[in-house]
Amino acid sequence: RHLSFTDAAKELNLTQAAISKHVKSLELSLRHQLFIRHPRSLQLTKTGEAYLPKVRDAFERLAIGTREVFGGRRAKELTVRCAVSFAVNWLAPRLPEFLDRNRDKNVRIISSVWND
C-alpha cells in the first residue's frame, strides 16, 4: 500500500528491517518476487500487482468478520497500564473529565507496585 518499507514500519510499529525481512520471507515462501527494490523506493512486480487486490480483499474480509464476531469492544475500551503513583497522582484526578467527554468508553487501569 505504501510502496515503502519505512512507511509500513511506522504504521505497524516495527522496524524497517523487520518489514523487509518479513516481505523477503513471504517472497521466498511464494517463490515469486513481489517488489522491485530501488535505492529509495519500491515498485510492485507484475506478480505483486496481481496479488495486491487479493491481499486487500482478504484483509477487508478479515476486518469485517472480526467486527461481526467480536463487535466494537476494542474501540469502546481503553486499557492504561501504569505505575500506581502515576495512576493515583496524575491519572485519577483527570479521569472524571475524560469519562465525561467519552461516555461510550470503558477505562481499565492496570497497575502494580512492582516493576515488570
CATH of the domain at 35: 1.10.10.10
For residue 30, the Cα-to-chain-centroid distance in whole angstroms is 24
Give me 74's grid cell.
476494542
- Helix axis angle, 16-30 to 5-12, nearest 10°: 110
**77-99 per-position pLDDT tens digit:** 788 888 888 888 899 999 999 88
pLDDT grade, residue 115 (50/70/90)? low
**28-46 per-position pLDDT tens digit:** 999 999 999 998 889 999 9
Residue 98's domain spans which residues? 73-112
Q: Does 58 or 102 have the greater pLDDT score?
A: 58
> What does the alpha-carbon distance between residue 10 and residue 19 come to, in Å, rounded to a whole number?
10
Instruction: Please state the pTM of the whole predicted model.
Output: 0.58
85 and 98 assigned to the same domain: yes
Which among 17, 40, 45, 43 has a CA at the least distance from the CA of 30? 45
- The CATH number assigned to the domain holding 89 equals 3.40.190.10
